[in-house]
Amino acid sequence: MIVVMAPEASEEQIQEVQSRLTHMGLDVHRSAGRERTVLGVSLDPGEADRDHIRRLPGVRDVVRTAVPFPLASRDFRPETTLVRARDAVIGGTRLALLAGPCAVESEAQTTRLAELVAAAGAGFLRGGAFKPRTSPYSFQGLGEEGLRILRRAADRCALAVVTEVMDTSHLALVERYADMLQVGSRNMHNYALLREVGKSRKPVLLKRGMAATIEEWLLAAEYVLAQGNHQVALCERGVRTFETYTRNTLDLSSVPVVQSLSHLPVIVDPSHATGRRDLVAAMARAAVAAGADGLMIEVHPQPEAALSDGMQSLYPAQFESLVRDCRAVARAVGRDL
Ligand code: PEP
Ligand code: MN
Protein backbone atom coordinates (compact mmCIF):
# COMPACT_ATOMS: atom_id res chain seq x y z
CA MET A 1 0.00 0.00 0.00
CA ILE A 2 1.14 3.53 -0.74
CA VAL A 3 0.20 6.78 0.99
CA VAL A 4 0.55 9.81 -1.25
CA MET A 5 0.96 13.03 0.73
CA ALA A 6 -0.34 16.31 -0.67
CA PRO A 7 2.43 18.54 -2.11
CA GLU A 8 1.67 21.13 0.59
CA ALA A 9 1.71 18.60 3.48
CA SER A 10 3.89 19.77 6.36
CA GLU A 11 6.74 17.74 7.85
CA GLU A 12 4.67 17.29 11.06
CA GLN A 13 1.76 15.88 9.06
CA ILE A 14 4.07 13.46 7.24
CA GLN A 15 5.58 12.32 10.53
CA GLU A 16 2.14 11.89 12.09
CA VAL A 17 1.07 9.59 9.25
CA GLN A 18 4.35 7.70 9.54
CA SER A 19 3.85 7.15 13.24
CA ARG A 20 0.23 5.96 12.80
CA LEU A 21 1.41 3.44 10.23
CA THR A 22 4.18 2.29 12.54
CA HIS A 23 1.62 1.84 15.32
CA MET A 24 -0.35 -0.43 13.00
CA GLY A 25 2.75 -2.64 13.01
CA LEU A 26 3.84 -1.67 9.48
CA ASP A 27 7.35 -0.95 8.18
CA VAL A 28 7.26 2.50 6.63
CA HIS A 29 9.50 3.61 3.77
CA ARG A 30 9.60 7.23 2.74
CA SER A 31 10.22 8.48 -0.77
CA ALA A 32 10.71 12.21 -1.11
CA GLY A 33 10.06 12.94 -4.78
CA ARG A 34 10.39 16.25 -6.57
CA GLU A 35 6.68 17.00 -6.25
CA ARG A 36 5.39 15.08 -3.27
CA THR A 37 6.27 12.68 -0.50
CA VAL A 38 5.10 9.09 -0.71
CA LEU A 39 5.05 6.59 2.15
CA GLY A 40 5.20 2.95 1.22
CA VAL A 41 4.32 -0.01 3.41
CA SER A 42 4.87 -3.57 2.34
CA LEU A 43 1.69 -5.02 3.88
CA ASP A 44 -1.86 -3.93 3.30
CA PRO A 45 -3.40 -3.03 6.70
CA GLY A 46 -6.99 -3.63 5.58
CA GLU A 47 -9.99 -1.49 4.70
CA ALA A 48 -10.64 0.17 8.08
CA ASP A 49 -7.05 1.26 8.67
CA ARG A 50 -6.75 2.46 5.08
CA ASP A 51 -9.80 4.69 5.59
CA HIS A 52 -8.37 5.99 8.85
CA ILE A 53 -5.11 6.97 7.14
CA ARG A 54 -6.95 8.51 4.20
CA ARG A 55 -8.70 10.97 6.54
CA LEU A 56 -5.49 12.24 8.22
CA PRO A 57 -4.49 15.85 7.45
CA GLY A 58 -2.03 16.19 4.57
CA VAL A 59 -2.95 12.86 2.96
CA ARG A 60 -3.84 13.12 -0.74
CA ASP A 61 -4.53 9.46 -1.45
CA VAL A 62 -4.10 5.90 -0.23
CA VAL A 63 -3.44 3.46 -3.04
CA ARG A 64 -3.31 -0.30 -3.05
CA THR A 65 -0.60 -0.99 -5.60
CA ALA A 66 -1.64 -3.18 -8.50
CA VAL A 67 1.74 -4.92 -8.30
CA PRO A 68 3.03 -7.07 -5.42
CA PHE A 69 6.22 -5.00 -5.05
CA PRO A 70 5.06 -1.64 -3.64
CA LEU A 71 8.51 -0.24 -2.83
CA ALA A 72 9.91 -1.11 -6.27
CA SER A 73 6.82 0.22 -8.05
CA ARG A 74 6.58 3.45 -10.06
CA ASP A 75 3.67 4.44 -7.79
CA PHE A 76 6.12 4.71 -4.90
CA ARG A 77 8.55 6.88 -6.88
CA PRO A 78 7.51 8.36 -10.20
CA GLU A 79 11.09 9.37 -11.08
CA THR A 80 13.75 6.79 -11.94
CA THR A 81 16.00 6.22 -8.95
CA LEU A 82 19.58 7.37 -9.36
CA VAL A 83 21.88 4.69 -8.03
CA ARG A 84 25.24 6.12 -7.04
CA ALA A 85 28.61 4.53 -6.39
CA ARG A 86 31.44 7.03 -5.87
CA ASP A 87 31.22 9.37 -8.89
CA ALA A 88 29.34 6.89 -11.06
CA VAL A 89 25.56 7.03 -11.49
CA ILE A 90 23.07 4.52 -12.91
CA GLY A 91 19.70 5.87 -14.01
CA GLY A 92 20.56 9.34 -15.32
CA THR A 93 20.45 10.67 -18.87
CA ARG A 94 24.04 9.53 -19.26
CA LEU A 95 24.22 5.76 -19.62
CA ALA A 96 26.26 3.83 -17.08
CA LEU A 97 29.09 1.69 -18.38
CA LEU A 98 30.30 -1.19 -16.21
CA ALA A 99 33.16 -3.08 -17.80
CA GLY A 100 36.08 -5.31 -17.03
CA PRO A 101 37.07 -8.95 -16.95
CA CYS A 102 34.77 -11.82 -16.06
CA ALA A 103 37.19 -12.76 -13.28
CA VAL A 104 40.09 -10.93 -11.71
CA GLU A 105 43.10 -13.03 -12.71
CA SER A 106 46.15 -10.88 -11.97
CA GLU A 107 47.27 -7.37 -11.12
CA ALA A 108 48.59 -6.79 -14.64
CA GLN A 109 45.39 -7.97 -16.36
CA THR A 110 43.12 -5.92 -14.11
CA THR A 111 45.23 -2.75 -14.20
CA ARG A 112 45.42 -2.84 -17.98
CA LEU A 113 41.65 -3.28 -18.22
CA ALA A 114 40.93 -0.53 -15.69
CA GLU A 115 42.94 1.90 -17.85
CA LEU A 116 41.16 0.73 -20.99
CA VAL A 117 37.62 1.00 -19.61
CA ALA A 118 38.28 4.33 -17.88
CA ALA A 119 39.65 5.81 -21.11
CA ALA A 120 36.50 4.61 -22.92
CA GLY A 121 34.31 6.46 -20.41
CA ALA A 122 33.25 3.69 -18.03
CA GLY A 123 32.37 4.66 -14.47
CA PHE A 124 32.65 1.15 -13.06
CA LEU A 125 35.28 -1.56 -13.14
CA ARG A 126 33.62 -4.98 -12.97
CA GLY A 127 35.37 -8.23 -12.14
CA GLY A 128 34.68 -11.33 -10.10
CA ALA A 129 36.83 -12.24 -7.11
CA PHE A 130 34.35 -14.90 -6.01
CA LYS A 131 33.08 -16.69 -9.10
CA PRO A 132 29.86 -18.73 -9.25
CA ARG A 133 31.11 -21.44 -11.63
CA THR A 134 28.88 -24.19 -12.95
CA SER A 135 31.64 -26.75 -12.37
CA PRO A 136 33.39 -27.07 -9.01
CA TYR A 137 36.61 -27.79 -10.95
CA SER A 138 36.61 -24.46 -12.82
CA PHE A 139 38.58 -21.42 -11.60
CA GLN A 140 36.71 -20.11 -8.55
CA GLY A 141 38.30 -16.66 -8.33
CA LEU A 142 41.16 -15.16 -6.31
CA GLY A 143 39.00 -14.28 -3.29
CA GLU A 144 40.33 -11.46 -1.11
CA GLU A 145 43.47 -11.07 -3.21
CA GLY A 146 41.17 -10.45 -6.20
CA LEU A 147 39.28 -7.80 -4.25
CA ARG A 148 42.53 -6.05 -3.35
CA ILE A 149 43.65 -6.04 -6.98
CA LEU A 150 40.30 -4.65 -8.12
CA ARG A 151 40.38 -1.87 -5.54
CA ARG A 152 43.91 -0.80 -6.44
CA ALA A 153 43.22 -0.85 -10.18
CA ALA A 154 39.95 1.08 -9.79
CA ASP A 155 41.51 3.69 -7.52
CA ARG A 156 44.31 4.43 -9.99
CA CYS A 157 41.68 5.24 -12.62
CA ALA A 158 38.98 6.81 -10.39
CA LEU A 159 36.52 4.00 -11.13
CA ALA A 160 33.90 2.47 -8.86
CA VAL A 161 34.22 -1.28 -8.17
CA VAL A 162 31.26 -3.57 -8.80
CA THR A 163 31.85 -7.19 -7.83
CA GLU A 164 29.76 -10.20 -6.91
CA VAL A 165 29.00 -11.26 -3.38
CA MET A 166 28.06 -14.93 -3.50
CA ASP A 167 27.39 -15.68 0.12
CA THR A 168 26.26 -13.89 3.28
CA SER A 169 29.46 -15.05 4.98
CA HIS A 170 31.55 -13.03 2.47
CA LEU A 171 29.48 -9.86 2.67
CA ALA A 172 31.58 -7.97 5.24
CA LEU A 173 34.74 -8.75 3.27
CA VAL A 174 33.31 -7.74 -0.11
CA GLU A 175 31.84 -4.54 1.37
CA ARG A 176 35.31 -3.52 2.50
CA TYR A 177 36.58 -3.36 -1.09
CA ALA A 178 33.54 -2.87 -3.33
CA ASP A 179 31.53 0.25 -4.12
CA MET A 180 28.60 -1.78 -5.44
CA LEU A 181 27.51 -5.29 -4.52
CA GLN A 182 26.53 -7.58 -7.39
CA VAL A 183 24.01 -10.33 -6.72
CA GLY A 184 24.42 -12.82 -9.55
CA SER A 185 21.83 -14.64 -11.59
CA ARG A 186 22.27 -17.86 -9.63
CA ASN A 187 21.63 -16.01 -6.37
CA MET A 188 18.61 -13.93 -7.37
CA HIS A 189 16.45 -16.35 -5.36
CA ASN A 190 18.81 -16.43 -2.38
CA TYR A 191 16.52 -14.58 0.02
CA ALA A 192 18.96 -14.68 2.94
CA LEU A 193 21.57 -12.92 0.78
CA LEU A 194 19.01 -10.41 -0.55
CA ARG A 195 18.05 -9.51 3.02
CA GLU A 196 21.68 -9.05 4.06
CA VAL A 197 22.58 -6.79 1.10
CA GLY A 198 19.37 -4.94 1.97
CA LYS A 199 20.94 -4.02 5.32
CA SER A 200 24.15 -2.84 3.63
CA ARG A 201 24.99 0.83 2.97
CA LYS A 202 26.42 -0.12 -0.44
CA PRO A 203 24.31 0.01 -3.63
CA VAL A 204 23.24 -3.31 -5.12
CA LEU A 205 23.27 -4.58 -8.71
CA LEU A 206 20.67 -7.35 -8.95
CA LYS A 207 20.99 -9.60 -11.98
CA ARG A 208 17.94 -11.38 -13.34
CA GLY A 209 17.73 -15.05 -12.44
CA MET A 210 18.25 -17.15 -15.56
CA ALA A 211 14.76 -18.65 -15.23
CA ALA A 212 13.09 -15.78 -13.40
CA THR A 213 10.02 -13.93 -14.57
CA ILE A 214 10.15 -10.14 -14.45
CA GLU A 215 7.80 -10.25 -11.46
CA GLU A 216 10.09 -12.64 -9.55
CA TRP A 217 13.03 -10.38 -10.36
CA LEU A 218 11.22 -7.28 -9.06
CA LEU A 219 10.12 -9.20 -5.96
CA ALA A 220 13.78 -10.07 -5.36
CA ALA A 221 14.54 -6.33 -5.57
CA GLU A 222 11.68 -5.74 -3.12
CA TYR A 223 13.49 -7.95 -0.57
CA VAL A 224 16.45 -5.57 -0.71
CA LEU A 225 14.30 -2.41 -0.59
CA ALA A 226 12.19 -3.73 2.29
CA GLN A 227 15.35 -3.91 4.43
CA GLY A 228 15.93 -0.20 3.87
CA ASN A 229 18.49 -0.23 1.05
CA HIS A 230 16.85 1.78 -1.73
CA GLN A 231 19.95 1.91 -3.93
CA VAL A 232 19.19 -0.99 -6.25
CA ALA A 233 19.88 -1.27 -9.99
CA LEU A 234 18.68 -4.21 -12.08
CA CYS A 235 20.64 -6.07 -14.75
CA GLU A 236 19.05 -8.07 -17.57
CA ARG A 237 21.49 -10.85 -18.54
CA GLY A 238 19.34 -13.14 -20.62
CA VAL A 239 17.15 -16.08 -19.69
CA ARG A 240 17.32 -19.77 -20.49
CA THR A 241 15.26 -20.95 -23.40
CA PHE A 242 15.33 -23.87 -25.87
CA GLU A 243 17.79 -21.95 -28.08
CA THR A 244 21.29 -23.39 -28.24
CA TYR A 245 23.18 -21.05 -30.60
CA THR A 246 23.38 -18.45 -27.83
CA ARG A 247 24.28 -19.04 -24.17
CA ASN A 248 21.01 -17.41 -23.05
CA THR A 249 18.24 -15.54 -24.84
CA LEU A 250 18.47 -11.79 -24.32
CA ASP A 251 15.03 -10.58 -23.25
CA LEU A 252 15.26 -6.94 -24.27
CA SER A 253 11.56 -6.41 -23.81
CA SER A 254 12.21 -6.63 -20.06
CA VAL A 255 13.82 -3.16 -20.26
CA PRO A 256 10.66 -1.20 -21.14
CA VAL A 257 8.53 -3.56 -19.02
CA VAL A 258 10.68 -2.92 -15.94
CA GLN A 259 10.76 0.80 -16.66
CA SER A 260 6.99 0.98 -16.80
CA LEU A 261 6.52 -1.02 -13.59
CA SER A 262 9.43 0.19 -11.50
CA HIS A 263 11.50 3.26 -10.65
CA LEU A 264 14.67 1.14 -10.42
CA PRO A 265 17.18 1.67 -13.24
CA VAL A 266 17.86 -1.31 -15.48
CA ILE A 267 21.04 -2.09 -17.38
CA VAL A 268 21.81 -4.88 -19.88
CA ASP A 269 24.64 -7.42 -19.93
CA PRO A 270 24.95 -8.66 -23.53
CA SER A 271 28.08 -10.68 -22.65
CA HIS A 272 26.37 -13.30 -20.47
CA ALA A 273 23.17 -12.98 -22.51
CA THR A 274 24.81 -14.17 -25.73
CA GLY A 275 27.95 -15.97 -24.57
CA ARG A 276 29.49 -15.05 -27.94
CA ARG A 277 31.99 -12.29 -28.63
CA ASP A 278 30.66 -11.79 -32.17
CA LEU A 279 27.16 -10.95 -30.90
CA VAL A 280 27.96 -8.67 -27.97
CA ALA A 281 28.26 -5.36 -29.87
CA ALA A 282 25.00 -5.79 -31.81
CA MET A 283 23.08 -6.64 -28.65
CA ALA A 284 24.69 -3.75 -26.78
CA ARG A 285 23.49 -1.34 -29.49
CA ALA A 286 20.03 -2.89 -29.34
CA ALA A 287 19.95 -2.54 -25.55
CA VAL A 288 20.78 1.16 -25.77
CA ALA A 289 18.11 1.62 -28.45
CA ALA A 290 15.60 -0.17 -26.19
CA GLY A 291 16.23 2.41 -23.47
CA ALA A 292 18.56 0.56 -21.10
CA ASP A 293 20.12 2.74 -18.40
CA GLY A 294 23.53 1.22 -18.95
CA LEU A 295 25.62 -1.70 -20.13
CA MET A 296 27.76 -4.31 -18.45
CA ILE A 297 30.46 -5.67 -20.77
CA GLU A 298 33.16 -8.30 -20.31
CA VAL A 299 36.52 -7.48 -21.86
CA HIS A 300 39.93 -9.17 -21.60
CA PRO A 301 43.43 -8.32 -22.90
CA GLN A 302 43.74 -11.89 -24.24
CA PRO A 303 40.32 -13.54 -24.31
CA GLU A 304 41.70 -16.86 -25.63
CA ALA A 305 43.75 -17.17 -22.42
CA ALA A 306 40.97 -16.04 -20.03
CA LEU A 307 40.31 -18.23 -16.99
CA SER A 308 36.56 -17.74 -17.39
CA ASP A 309 34.12 -16.64 -20.09
CA GLY A 310 36.83 -16.07 -22.72
CA MET A 311 34.34 -16.89 -25.52
CA GLN A 312 32.22 -13.87 -24.72
CA SER A 313 34.98 -11.47 -23.67
CA LEU A 314 35.80 -8.69 -26.12
CA TYR A 315 39.28 -7.76 -27.29
CA PRO A 316 40.21 -4.24 -26.17
CA ALA A 317 39.78 -2.77 -29.67
CA GLN A 318 36.33 -4.37 -30.00
CA PHE A 319 35.33 -2.85 -26.69
CA GLU A 320 36.45 0.60 -27.82
CA SER A 321 34.46 0.37 -31.02
CA LEU A 322 31.39 -0.95 -29.14
CA VAL A 323 31.46 2.14 -26.92
CA ARG A 324 31.79 4.47 -29.94
CA ASP A 325 28.83 2.84 -31.69
CA CYS A 326 26.68 2.73 -28.55
CA ARG A 327 27.41 6.41 -27.97
CA ALA A 328 25.96 7.22 -31.40
CA VAL A 329 22.85 5.12 -30.65
CA ALA A 330 22.52 6.73 -27.22
CA ARG A 331 22.48 10.18 -28.80
CA ALA A 332 19.84 9.07 -31.27
CA VAL A 333 17.53 8.13 -28.38
CA GLY A 334 18.15 11.26 -26.31
CA ARG A 335 20.78 9.82 -23.99
CA ASP A 336 24.54 10.07 -23.75
CA LEU A 337 27.37 7.67 -23.00
C1 PEP B 1 28.97 -12.08 -13.73
O2 PEP B 1 28.49 -11.01 -14.16
O3 PEP B 1 30.12 -12.16 -13.29
C4 PEP B 1 28.15 -13.32 -13.73
C5 PEP B 1 28.58 -14.42 -13.16
O6 PEP B 1 26.98 -13.19 -14.40
P7 PEP B 1 25.57 -13.94 -14.14
O8 PEP B 1 25.34 -13.91 -12.66
O9 PEP B 1 24.62 -13.09 -14.93
O10 PEP B 1 25.70 -15.32 -14.70
MN1 MN C 1 31.42 -13.95 -16.81
Q: What is the mean pLDDT of each run of 10 residues along the chain (337 residues)?
A: 93 95 93 84 86 95 91 94 97 98 98 98 98 92 97 98 97 98 98 98 98 98 96 98 98 98 98 98 98 98 97 98 98 97
Longest Cα–Cα distance in the chain:
66
d(CA 204, CA 180): 6
Helix, strand, coil percent content, the chain, rounded in steps of 5? 40, 20, 40
Q: Decide whether any atom of ligand 1 lies within 6 Å of the 77 Cβ.
A: no
DSSP E strands in 95-203: the ranges are 96-100, 124-126, 160-164, 180-183
Residues whose CB is less than 8 angstroms from the CB of residue 77 and which lie 6 or more positions away in sequence, other chains included: 31, 33, 38, 263
Q: At what angle do helices 214-226 and 191-198 cross, to 10 degrees?
A: 40
Q: Decide whether any atom of ligand 1 lies within 6 Å of the 128 Cβ.
A: yes
Question: How does DSSP classify residue 94?
Answer: B
In 3-state terms, what secondary structure has residue 24? coil
Q: CA 104, 110, 111 angle in degrees (round to 5)?
A: 160
For ligand 1, atom 6, which residue shows the shortest CA distance?
Answer: 184
> How far does the centroid of ligand 1 lie from the alpha carbon of residue 41, in Å?
32
pLDDT at 128: 98
Q: Decide whether any atom of ligand 1 lies within 6 Å of the 132 Cβ.
A: yes
pLDDT at 32: 75
pLDDT at 35: 79
d(CA 49, CA 85): 39
Q: Decide whether any atom of ligand 1 lies within 6 Å of the 275 Cβ.
A: no
pTM of the model: 0.96
Hey, what domains does the chain have and what are their CATH numbers?
2-64 (3.30.70.1140), 83-332 (3.20.20.70)
